[in-house]
Amino acid sequence: MTGRRSGRGWRIVQVLAGVALLALAGLEIWTRQAVGEATPALDLPPAVGTVVLVIHGAGDADNPLMPVIVAGLADRFADDSGVAVRYLRWSPESDERLRAAATAQAVGQRVGAGLAALGTVRELHLVAHSVGAFMPDAICRELRALPAPPRITMVFLDPFQISGFVDWGWGARHHGECADFALAVMNLDDPAPATNRPLQQAWNLDVTADPARAGFDRNGHYWPVRYYLDHLLGQQPAMAGWSHADRPRGEVRTAAGGR
């Protein structure tokens, strides 16, 4: 009797394990499916030479810091008539958070194809927060196929790193690998999942312990956005000339007060 009970219990465990694996596989497949096929309209002028795109995170299109960044970048590039600074708003597709990474990649691929088709872009700056970090490399890959691809600079602000449902380190391995120069501004102790690992393909600026953070009253996931606005935006457009020769990929530097 004991043996039959033991055998029945083991079969129950096997069935439950199988159900759990099927559920996990289903979630993995589902989270890799993009939402919709919309392509944000950028309304770029003819013969635009430099494009600057600011990209929000999942369900965060109305982040109040983003229009301030867009306005600040427009001011920094104002002396060049061949520049277009745009807010890449990918909402409402971005609002389904579990599929937002896949959606960002799909939107980025379409945006990149559109930029490549212009044939005039010689310099591209991409500033992305959170899950928006899945977009820059997708954009970049479309442009790399051009005979003379533009120089591409990426800035990741507390980048989200989960691809699918199970690969929590995908972004840490891959974000920024397509860029000529990639910078990650990171807060390494906030509650947002999978945003606290440095990027292997970017130069990392750890702003976790910056003194100004004590006066910041929002979720720590937004602190890198604020830090970029206060200390790094002013270094555009010169950042296009930064190199991984002196700011190596994978290096982590601790920042304090913009240093």
Cα three-residue angle 64-181-211, rounded to 5 degrees: 50
The answer as to whether 1 is a domain residue is no
Whether pLDDT at 258 is above 50: no
Q: Looking at the 3D structure of the chain, how many domains does it have?
A: 1
Look up the CATH number of the domain holding residue 54.
3.40.50.1820
pLDDT at 67: 97
Could you list the residue range(s) of the whole structural domain that residue 140 is in? 32-254
pLDDT at 113: 96
Tokens representing residue 224 in the block: 């890198």
pLDDT at 16: 52
Average pLDDT on 130-145 reads 96
The answer as to whether 88 is a domain residue is yes
Distance CA 51, CA 106 (A): 19
99 or 142: which carries more pLDDT confidence? 142
Nearest of 33, 23, 21 to residue 163 by alpha carbon = 33
Whether pLDDT at 137 is above 80: yes
Neighbours of 241 (CB within 10 A): 10
pLDDT at 168: 65
pLDDT at 256: 66
The answer as to whether 7 is a domain residue is no
Per-residue pLDDT band for 3 (boundaries 50, 70, 90) equals low
Whether pLDDT at 81 is above 70: yes
Distance CA 16, CA 8 (A): 12
Nearest of 32, 36, 162 to residue 99 by alpha carbon = 32
Per-residue pLDDT band for 99 (boundaries 50, 70, 90) equals confident
Q: Residue 177 half-sphere exposure, CB side, CA atoms within 13 Å?
A: 10
Question: Which residues are registered as beta bridge partners of 55?
Answer: 88, 128
Instruction: For residue 51, give the 3-state DSSP assignment.
Output: strand
The answer as to whether 46 is a domain residue is yes
Q: Which of 22-26, 66-70, 155-159 has the lowest mean pLDDT?
A: 22-26
Instruction: For residue 131, give the 3-state DSSP assignment.
Output: helix
Q: Residue 81 half-sphere exposure, CB side, CA atoms within 13 Å?
A: 2
Whether pLDDT at 17 is above 60: no
Q: What is the overall mean pLDDT for the chain?
A: 87
Q: Kindly tell me the burial class for residue 183, based on how many C-beta atoms sit within 10 Å of its own C-beta (0-12, 13-18, 19 or more).
A: buried
Average pLDDT on 79-92 reads 93
Contact between residue 143 and residue 135 where contact means Cβ atoms under 8 Å apart: no
Per-residue pLDDT band for 259 (boundaries 50, 70, 90) equals very low
Nearest of 139, 119, 129 to residue 47 by alpha carbon = 119
Residue 203: what are its φ and ψ, rounded to 5°? -85, 125
Length of the chain counted residue by residue: 259
The answer as to whether 201 is a domain residue is yes
pLDDT at 12: 63
The answer as to whether 65 is a domain residue is yes
pLDDT at 23: 44
pLDDT at 24: 47
Contact between residue 51 and residue 87 where contact means Cβ atoms under 8 Å apart: no
51 or 218: which carries more pLDDT confidence? 51
Model confidence, pTM: 0.88
The answer as to whether 205 is a domain residue is yes
The answer as to whether 130 is a domain residue is yes
Give DSSP secondary structure letters for 138-186: HHHHHHHTSSSPPEEEEEEES----BTTTBTTHHHHHTTTT-SEEEEEE
